[in-house]
C-alpha cells in the first residue's frame, strides 16, 4: 500500500495509521513518526507554502526511492500545508515492513528528506511578526547520512 498526500486541513494521525496498518497484512513491524508544530520561543503559528505540481511529485519520487532502497510493504506519507498552530500535526510518515529495521530506516530516510530537501517554504509567526525558517546544519548532516 502506498498513500502519499498533501493536506490543507488538520488531520488526526491515528485515523490514518490504523487503516494503513490494516492494509498491510502479514507485516512484521510498523514505524510511525508524527511531527507537530512546537510550542516554543513564542511561536504563535507556522505556515508552510509550496508549489503543488513539484511538491506532490517530489513526495512521490521520494516514496519511489524509499521502495527501491528498503524492503517495504507499504508507505504512508502525509504532509500539511497552509497555516497551523502549536500542537497541530504537520507530517505523518508510517512504513510497514516484514522486519523492523526496514520500517524504522524508511521513516528516518523520508523525514530527513522532507526536513532538508523538500519542496516547502516555512515561516513562523511570533509576537514581532513572521520569520522565515531555514533547515539547520544538523538537518543537512542527517540528510548526508544517506549518501545521495
What domains, with CATH codes, occur in the chain? 2-144 (3.90.1170.40)
Distance CA 19, CA 4 (A): 14
Q: What is the pLDDT of residue 39?
A: 84
- % the chain with pLDDT above 90: 79
103: Cβ–Cβ under 8 A, 6 or more apart, which residues? 29, 30, 31, 72, 95, 96, 97
Distance CA 17, CA 31 (A): 10
Overall size of the chain counted in residues? 148
> pLDDT at residue 118 above 80?
no
Mean pLDDT, the chain, rounded, equals 93
Residue 64, number of CB atoms within 10 A of its CB = 13
> pLDDT at residue 77 above 90?
yes
Q: What is the pLDDT of residue 7?
A: 95
Distance CA 19, CA 130 (A): 37
Q: What is the pLDDT of residue 72?
A: 97
> pLDDT at residue 41 above 80?
no
Q: What is the pLDDT of residue 93?
A: 98
Distance CA 73, CA 79 (A): 20
Amino acid at each position: 500500500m502506498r498513500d502519499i498526500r498533501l493536506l490543507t486541513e488538520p488531520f488526526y494521525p491515528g485515523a490514518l495509521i490504523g487503516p494503513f496498518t490494516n492494509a498491510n497484512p502479514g507485516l512484521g513491524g510498523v514505524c510511525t513518526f508524527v511531527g507537530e508544530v512546537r510550542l516554543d520561543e513564542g511561536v504563535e503559528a507556522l505556515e508552510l507554502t509550496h508549489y503543488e505540481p513539484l511538491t506532490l511529485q517530489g513526495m512521490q519520487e521520494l516514496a519511489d526511492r524509499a521502495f527501491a532502497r528498503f524492503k517495504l510493504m507499504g508507505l504512508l506519507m502525509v504532509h500539511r500545508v497552509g497555516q497551523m498552530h502549536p500542537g497541530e500535526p504537520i507530517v505523518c510518515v508510517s512504513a510497514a515492513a516484514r522486519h523492523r529495521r526496514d520500517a524504522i530506516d524508511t521513516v528516518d530516510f523520508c523525514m530527513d528528506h522532507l526536513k532538508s530537501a523538500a519542496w516547502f517554504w516555512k515561516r513562523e509567526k511570533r509576537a514581532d511578526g513572521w520569520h522565515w525558517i531555514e533547515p539547520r546544519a544538523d538537518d543537512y548532516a542527517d540528510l548526508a547520512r544517506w549518501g545521495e
